């Protein structure tokens, strides 16, 4: 049975990234009626940032060259580490159980929201591989950061996530769906780009639905 892990990270309750991830999730669930589904709102229910005890767990996993995620719990040896592991364990269980990981996230200040970064930090350990899973990122950006645009070099959202999922998790299937120029709806200086935004958003909605049933 396939399982979808759906994460949203936007601080806005009604956001473009939430809409896009919702379209994907609805289409996936319709196509996989027997599939499992887990949802986390990382903005409404934030994951705590890592602390000293988490770094100790990380060091012990690395020192022991433990690559089996199911054995990470073996390194817990202090009350503080047990407390840190109590945060990590359910997040990691959800991630490992998923065949598809769907992340709805906006670009904030050229990068990702701190809520998403906190989740990534909690579930990431040395030499940890998630090969065979599919990652889909449904995103929204205030400006235009696509290939060939003047701001392409400032896109540290897609670049970071792609490099991390491919480079650390060894995930081979990573797809991004973006709605661009969303600030054209509120910024008078971008008002002349609203038609471009509408085309981008329409294309992103269509692609999100198609990707879910590929």
Domains in the chain: boundaries? 3-48+90-211
DSSP state of 111: B
Q: CB within 8 A of 181, min separation 6: which ones? A: 141, 142, 143, 144, 190, 193, 194, 196, 197, 200
Residue 120: helix, strand or coil by DSSP?
helix
pTM value is 0.96
**pLDDT given for residue 120 in this prediction:** 98
Cβ pair 212, 32 in contact under 8 A:
no
Candidates 23, 34, 5; CA nearest to 212 is 23
**pLDDT given for residue 214 in this prediction:** 84
Candidates 177, 178, 174, 149; CA nearest to 163 is 174
Superfamily of domain 3-48+90-211: Flavodoxin domain (3.40.50.360)
**pLDDT given for residue 189 in this prediction:** 94
Annotated binding site: 10, 15-17, 107-110
Sheet of 100-106, strand order: 36-41, 3-8, 100-106, 134-140, 173-179
Estimate the share of the chain in helix, then strand, then coil, as percent rounded to the nearest 5.
50, 15, 35
Strand ranges inside the chain, DSSP E: 3-8, 36-41, 100-106, 134-140, 173-179
Residue 201: helix, strand or coil by DSSP?
helix
Annotated binding site for FMN: 10, 15-17, 107-110
> Rounded to an integer, what distance in angstroms lies between the CA atom of residue 76 and that of residue 67?
16
> Rounded to an integer, what distance in angstroms lies between the CA atom of residue 75 and that of residue 71?
8
**pLDDT given for residue 136 in this prediction:** 98
Low-confidence ranges of the chain (pLDDT < 70): none
């Amino acid at each position: 049975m396939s399982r979808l892990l759906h994460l949203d990270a936007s601080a806005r309750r009604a956001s473009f990234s939430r809409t896009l991830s919702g379209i994907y999730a609805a289409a996936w669930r319709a196509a996989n009626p027997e599939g499992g589904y887990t949802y986390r709102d990382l903005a409404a229910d934030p994951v705590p940032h890592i602390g000293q005890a988490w770094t100790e767990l990380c060091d012990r996993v690395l020192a022991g060259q433990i690559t089996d995620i199911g054995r990470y719990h073996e390194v817990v040896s202090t009350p503080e580490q047990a407390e840190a592991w109590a945060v990590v364990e359910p997040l990691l269980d959800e991630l490992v159980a998923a065949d598809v990981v769907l992340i709805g996230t906006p670009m904030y200040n050229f990068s990702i929201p701190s809520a998403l970064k906190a989740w990534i930090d909690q579930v990431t350990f040395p030499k940890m591989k998630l090969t065979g899973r599919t990652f889909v990122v449904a995103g929204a950006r205030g400006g235009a950061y696509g290939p060939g645009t003047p701001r392409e070099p400032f896109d540290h959202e897609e670049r970071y996530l792609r490099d991390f999922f491919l480079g650390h998790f060894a995930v081979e299937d990573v797809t991004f769906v973006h709605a661009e120029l969303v600030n054209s709806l509120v910024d008078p200086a971008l008002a002349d780009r609203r038609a471009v935004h509408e085309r981008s958003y329409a294309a992103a909605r269509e692609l999100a639905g198609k990707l879910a049933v590929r």
